[in-house]
């Protein structure tokens, strides 16, 4: 399978890609640079918005704005760029920050935190209601909340707590956004890399990036490994389907903390990569708040 470099990047710590169908752009963040990028594959043009802090994620809103995870705060940004803080968490944990965030099919925002010092159980996965703007803990006692996504039928939610070296799947109630039973969906050997971001395709396959493992994997809906794509970089971070037909898999990558020697050996580190895996993705969910 051919993997090609796009003209997007390089990022220090590229993350959180998602496809904006209305403008045919790929939205992504560069965490340590405090940047939110909108990049057009057709024109090559990129618009960047800067924030003062680490931007864990940016999620499109139904009104055209963004929900942005900045350090330990959740901001709503309107289409004109005005910002409003709607939640702040874990003020007693200065070594934590928000990491991956996604909207579910019902428009709720799911936002996970991570411990930058890998303190076991210090992080959580939160759920933000779009109507009340109330935030509550959905999954406590995590360490590095990471990739998440929903099955095509909307009855299951996948989630990664990276240091557990596995992907979990929860029963999901689409009507009220509540989580049910949790089980291990797939285990990943530490020698193969750290499970990072994920996305779900239209057939129910789960694609996951292996940070430090230089690959993206697909597990079918039964949790069986069905594809492995080797990449020209050691640290892929998150996959997302995009393009007019959602047939292109984009993969953000990182050059963060790589030595000069490592970067010389990986000239594409930090670049957004692209490939056509033969399956299509699902449309991007938007936060309804």
If the chain, 289 residues long, is cut into consecutive pieces of 10 residues, what is the mean pLDDT of each piece? 94 98 97 98 96 98 95 96 96 97 98 98 97 96 98 98 98 96 98 98 98 98 98 98 97 95 96 98 96
Closest CA to 240 of 266, 216, 260, 223: 216
How close are the terminal C-alpha atoms of the chain, in Å? Answer: 39
71, 104, 161, 196: the active-site residue: 196
Active site residue 196: yes
pLDDT of residue 243: 97
pLDDT of residue 221: 97
Q: What is the DSSP string of 81-109?
A: --EEEEEE--TT-TTEEEEEEEE-TTS-E
pLDDT of residue 205: 98
pLDDT of residue 33: 97
What six digits make up the tokens of 212?
């430090």
d(CA 19, CA 262): 30
d(CA 123, CA 144): 7
Q: In Å, how far from its chain's centre is CA 215?
A: 16
Please tell me whether residue 175 adopts helix, strand or coil conformation: coil
pLDDT of residue 63: 87
Domains in the chain with CATH codes: 4-275 (2.120.10.30)
Residue 131 buriedness (CB in 10 A; 0-12 / 13-18 / 19+): exposed
**What pTM was estimated for this model as a whole?**
0.97
Closest CA to 115 of 69, 58, 68, 162: 162
pLDDT of residue 1: 84
């Amino acid at each position: 399978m051919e993997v090609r470099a796009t003209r997007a990047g390089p990022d220090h710590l590229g993350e959180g890609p998602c496809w904006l169908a209305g403008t045919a752009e790929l939205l992504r963040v560069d965490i340590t640079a405090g940047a939110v990028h909108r990049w057009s594959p057709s024109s090559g043009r990129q618009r960047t918005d800067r924030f003062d802090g680490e931007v864990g994620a940016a999620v499109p809103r139904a009104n055209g704005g963004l929900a942005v995870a900045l350090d330990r705060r959740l901001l709503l940004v309107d289409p004109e760029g005005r910002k409003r803080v709607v939640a702040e968490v874990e003020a007693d944990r200065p070594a934590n920050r928000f990491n991956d965030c996604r909207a579910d099919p019902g428009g709720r925002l799911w936002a996970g935190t991570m411990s930058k010092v890998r303190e076991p159980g210090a992080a959580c996965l939160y759920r933000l209601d779009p109507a009340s703007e109330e935030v509550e803990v959905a999954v406590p006692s995590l360490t590095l909340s990471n990739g998440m996504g929903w099955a095509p039928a909307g009855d299951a939610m996948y989630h990664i707590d990276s240091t557990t070296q596995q992907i979990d799947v929860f029963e999901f109630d689409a009507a009220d956004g509540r989580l049910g039973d949790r089980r291990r969906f797939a285990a990943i050997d530490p020698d193969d890399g750290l499970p990072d971001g994920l996305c779900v395709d239209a057939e129910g396959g789960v694609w996951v990036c292996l940070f430090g493992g230089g690959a993206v994997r697909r597990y079918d809906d039964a949790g069986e490994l069905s594809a492995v794509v080797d990449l020209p970089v050691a640290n892929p971070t998150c996959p997302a389907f995009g393009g007019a037909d959602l047939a292109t898999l984009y993969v953000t990558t990182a050059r963060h903390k790589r030595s000069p020697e490592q970067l010389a050996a990986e000239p594409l580190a930090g670049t957004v990569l692209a490939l056509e895996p033969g399956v299509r993705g699902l449309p991007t969910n938007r936060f309804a708040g």
